[in-house]
Structure 1
Amino acid sequence: MLFSVPKSLAFLLAMCSMVGPLSANTYMPGLGMIAEEYGVGEVAAYQTLSSYLICFALSSLFVGAISDSLGRRSVMMGGLLSYALSCMICAFSPNYESFLVGRILMGLFASTGTVLAMAVTRDLFSGRQAQELTSLIAVIFALAPAFAPIIGGWLVVLFGWRSVFFFLAGFAFLMALATFFLLKETHPEDKRTAFHFVPLVTTYAHSFKNVAFTAGVFCNGFVFMGSILFSAGAPDYVENVMGMGVTDFGYLMLPLIGFSVTGSIFCTKIAARLGEVKAMWLQIALMYIAGIAGVVMNYIWHVPYPLCLFAVIVYSTAMSVIRPIMTVYNLDYFPQNRGMAASIQQFFQTSAFAICAALWVPVVMGQAWKYDAVLLFCGVMVSVTWIIVLKTRPRCLPKGFQSENC
């Protein structure tokens, strides 16, 4: 049997965690229309994405700790319902300023599903089973960035850009209902810790003294950065690099997600066959190969579609094997504060997306080989941080800790 963990739980957690990428990617095909309707420039339109991502990253630091205090289930439902209301603000916004406020609020609440999906997974499982559930969630979760711009493109064409936010609000409301009826509390009261802001900040600062954990969350962030660059720059890559239109985002996203799903499905099998360490080094080697080959192919020969996607397809496949391993590793260091650890990990992941939107996309815009050069950079940083994890992990784990990962 490929997976031994409950499929229904993986589906529910993945659907809740999809809220984040749906919020970022679904409205992208309508950015031009939004800018035109509100009379703002392209830079201002992209600020609604970077503002969302910054708020998403900041709220990620606190939602896990809040769930450590109040429980996963209630925080999940409250966050999803508040997110749905934020979407309605965007849908009915009469001007750019109110739309921007709606996007900021969406960012503050969208992190709930993504962070708590990781925390619930680690509450229930450890070792190989935790990797299996994380991989299974990743398989389902991968549908979001694949179909979000496709759905958004058709919604924009058929019903206008505001329909995207009605769709997002409806999706979040349904997930809140599903959480109410299907998700049991996984963090009982006797294990909860009171939420206090100042001690929380102190705890966060103390957590970064754990070198293996710090290197691990940076590693996870760099892994994610390489692949998400193509989502952040999807309008540019599809229209300017590939020469296609607003309803053609599937030609970019579907191949990437298809190979990512394949990697996620076989992640635990690869790790079981090779061991986590060898599996990680194999995927890092593939990242190097992908980055170098992509730069050469797209700089020297300017290869056409679909060959221009070779590097990111290989990179995304490797990423889907690495991330479940690193996610479980990173939540091992603080068994009593996994919500906090999940929050920090999500902060670095979302920050990687924000950096792509604000920094990398303007730098690489219009040039396929520059996109692939970023993949190579990320591969190098993943290898550096992974070496640090390997050297420091044994002494950074809590005393008496036992895991299948070690």
Structure 2
Amino acid sequence: MSAPPNAEFQPAVTWHRPVWVLAALLATLSSLGPFAIDTYLPAFEGIAQGLATTPVHLQQTLSGYLAGFSVMMLFHGALSDSFGRRPVVFVGLAVFALASVVCATASHVGVLIAGRVLQGMSCGAGIVVGRAIVRDLFAAVHAQKLMSQITLFFGAAPAIAPIIGGWLFAGFGWRAIFWFLALVAVSVLVLAARTLPETLPPERRQPFTPLALSRGYWQVVSDKRFLLLTLAAGVPFNAMFVFILSAPMLLGHHLKLAPTQFFWLFCWGISGIMGGAWASGRLAGRIPRERQVRWGFGILLVVAFVNTLYHAFVPANVFSAILPVGLIGFGWSMLAPCVTLLVLDRFPERLGLASSLQACLASLSNAIVAGLVAPIAMASVAGLALASFVLGFAGWAAWKLYRMDVRRVIRSEQQAQQDS
């Protein structure tokens, strides 16, 4: 599959292999982030014992990783706009492999924290640059199909990673987890070097100077439609994510489930995301993107509203608390590829930088929900349901404001043509 050339879109190269190969490769690049978190979580206690440290100090390995991830998320895309997509991906993978070796050989928790910070700083390259590569290669419909396939592959990572981490920890000890991550990074680096094309030709690259970068960042963040679309794509994800963040309280305290039963929430949520991604790919080109976004928001908001209304009057049970999570994830995943492409289309000459800022703002919204919203909402299932609806409604409101602005500009242009 390759995008047909037209006046608005001219790909620098053409992808000749099966598209699922590219989807699997980009999904693997994007999955390094979740893998770097989820694989080592089952070994937390073992790491604390092995390094003779406290859980509080060990928690800094996660905080350091997230800090490094968030900071570098701002720069991966800008670097790829200046030096090309391949170098940024390759350097990111190489640094991630090196950081994993540092973690695997750490003899002190401070060294482990440093390695985790380095992991976080490097693994975001795949997420950010991968989106730019998709838009470099394909026009709107084909890009949406590919984004949906990537989400489909990517959705399996949070479910598989803890299982692999648990097996490695039980069989070989906690250090094997980081050796495994290093091996994965090297393998993906070799595969990417053999198959991933350079999709940004030299004539389309941006100068890497402080003045050019500051102008680029300001151009993107000062664009009202970019901000509205970023909110429309990122905030509704938290309508599902708030349940995941509150899983220990929701499942253990409110629903009285054993820890061995927690996987039902995660599997159902992931299934919803994968189902929505499949639907998005099937609908690509068959209906307008704007209609698909409306359908996605419609599913998300109806489910979240009914969930809120139900739990306001009826005591929660396992079925009523978990079923809406997957359906909300389905609605979000159905609309997200369309809105993400609309975000990137705002700045075709700075795809990497736009992708960086979108990912950074999405991570910021996740952090706000994790730090402020979830701790308050998790006091009851009804509170979580209400928070989920409010977050989904906020995303929908951003989308409506974007559409109102688009229609306003269209009306102004039509009026100007009539007057002339």
1:117 CA drift (Å): 0.8
1:339-391 per-position Cα deviation (integer Å, ceiling 9, x unaligned): 11111111122223333443344334574444333321211111111012212
In structure 1, the residue matched to 2:414 is none
* Contact 1:216 1:329 survives alignment (8 Å): yes
Q: Distance in 2 between matches of 1:119 and 1:327?
A: 11
> CA 1:59–1:156 in structure 2 vs 1: closer, same or farther (change >3 Å)?
same
CA displacement 1:7-42 (0-9 Å, x = unmatched):
111111111111112123222333344456553345
> Using the alignment, how far apart are the partners of 1:235 and 1:164 within structure 2?
24
Task: Give the whole-Å Cα distance in 1 for the aligned partners of 2:287 and 2:129.
Answer: 30
Instruction: Tell me the CA shift for residue 266 of structure 1.
Output: 1.4
Identity between Structure 1 and Structure 2 (%)? 30
Q: Note the alpha carbon deviations across 1:289-344, whole angstroms, 9 max, x for none.
A: 33233345556544333442122111100011111001110000111111111111
RMSD: 2.8
Sort the Cα spacing of 1:239 and 1:166 in 2 relative to 1 into closer, same or farther, 3 A: farther
1:161: which partner in 2?
174
> AA paired with 1:262?
G
Q: Which residue of 2 is the match for residue 40 of structure 1? A: 54
Range with greater deviation from structure 2 (355-364 or 65-74): 355-364
Residue 120 of structure 2 corresponds to: 107
- Flag as ranges the 4+ runs of structure 1 deviating above 6 A: 394-397
- Aligned counterpart in structure 2 of residue 50 of structure 1, from 63, 67, 70: 63
Tell me if structure 1 keeps the 8 A contact 2:76–2:124: yes
2:145–2:284 CA contact under 8 A, matched in 1 = no
TM-score by length of 2: 0.84
Q: CA deviation at 1:232?
A: 4.2
User: How far does the alpha carbon of each residue in 1:200-247 deviate from its partner, in whole angstroms, 9 at most, with x for none?
Assistant: 133212212211111111222202323334444555555555555666
Partners in 2 of 1:159 and 1:125 — Cα distance?
A: 43
- SS of the aligned residue for 1:257 comes to helix
1:257 aligns with 2:270: yes
How many Å separate the matches in 2 of 1:374 and 1:45? Answer: 30
Secondary structure, counterpart of 1:266 in structure 2: helix
Query: Distance between the aligned counterparts of 2:338 and 2:279, measured in 1?
Result: 12
Q: Cα distance 1:164–1:354, how it changes in 2: closer, same or farther (>3 A)?
A: farther
Distance change >3 Å, CA 169–CA 305, structure 1 → 2 = farther
Instruction: Select which of 348, 357, 362 maps to 1:344.
Output: 357
The match for 2:398 among 385, 393, 398 is 385
Determine if contact 1:29/1:246 at 8 Å carries over to the other structure.
no
Deviations 1:245-284 (A, max 9, x none): 6665532222222222111111144454543223222322
| Matched-pair contact (CA < 8 Å) for 2:131–2:355 | yes
- Unaligned 5+ residue runs, structure 2? 5-17, 411-420
Q: Higher mean Cα deviation, 291-300 or 128-137?
A: 291-300
* Residue matched to 1:67: 80
C-alpha distance in structure 2 between counterparts of 1:306 and 1:165, whole Å? 37
- Going from structure 1 to structure 2, the CA distance change for 1:338 and 1:95 (only over 3 Å counts) comes to same
Paired AA for residue 218 in structure 1:
L
Structure 1 unmatched ranges of 5 or more: 398-406
Within the candidate set 201, 209, 214, 1:201 is matched to 214
2:191 — aligned with what?
Answer: 178
Question: Is 1:152 equivalent to 2:165 in the alignment?
Answer: yes
| Residue-pair matches, total | 395
Which amino acid is the alignment partner of residue 139 of structure 1?
Answer: L
Partner of 1:85: 98
Residues of 2 paired with 1:395 and 1:167: CA distance?
A: 53
